[in-house]
Amino acid sequence: MDSLVASIAWKERRYLRVLQVDVDERPDLAGRFRVETVPTLVLVKQGRVVERLEGRVSAALLGRAVKSHLSGNQPARAVKDGEQLQRDEARAV
């Protein structure tokens, strides 16, 4: 995982989940979220894609994008190590 995304994930760990998906291993998810460029960051809130960032982005842009969608959120459900991606988790960031 890119260190920039990892940093934001750590700072906001109470409010979001970050999942990294290998598009070669999960082409179904890549298709579902229309990933055509790597890297692609898809922000999903309440089951809806609310933001899409493709290619390398600056720390400032990524931070603004994430924070703009965090206001009023409830804490995220924890994801256990080794837990398989399930439909609801695929909706997370």
Cα separations in angstroms, 25 against 3, 18, 20, 55, 61: 22, 18, 11, 20, 28
Q: Where do the domains of the chain lie?
A: 3-90
pLDDT tens readout for residues 15-64: 888 888 899 999 999 999 999 999 998 888 888 888 899 998 888 888 88
Which of these CATH numbers, 2.60.40.10, 3.40.720.10, 1.10.3720.10, 3.40.30.10, describes 3-90? Answer: 3.40.30.10
Buried b (16+ CB within 10 A) or exposed e, 62-80: bbebbeebeeeeeeeeeee
Locate the DSSP E strands across the chain.
40-45, 48-54
Which pairing describes strands 40-45 and 48-54: parallel, antiparallel, or unpaired? Answer: antiparallel
Q: Where do we find the tokens 């890297």?
A: 39
Q: Is the pTM of this model over 0.85?
A: no
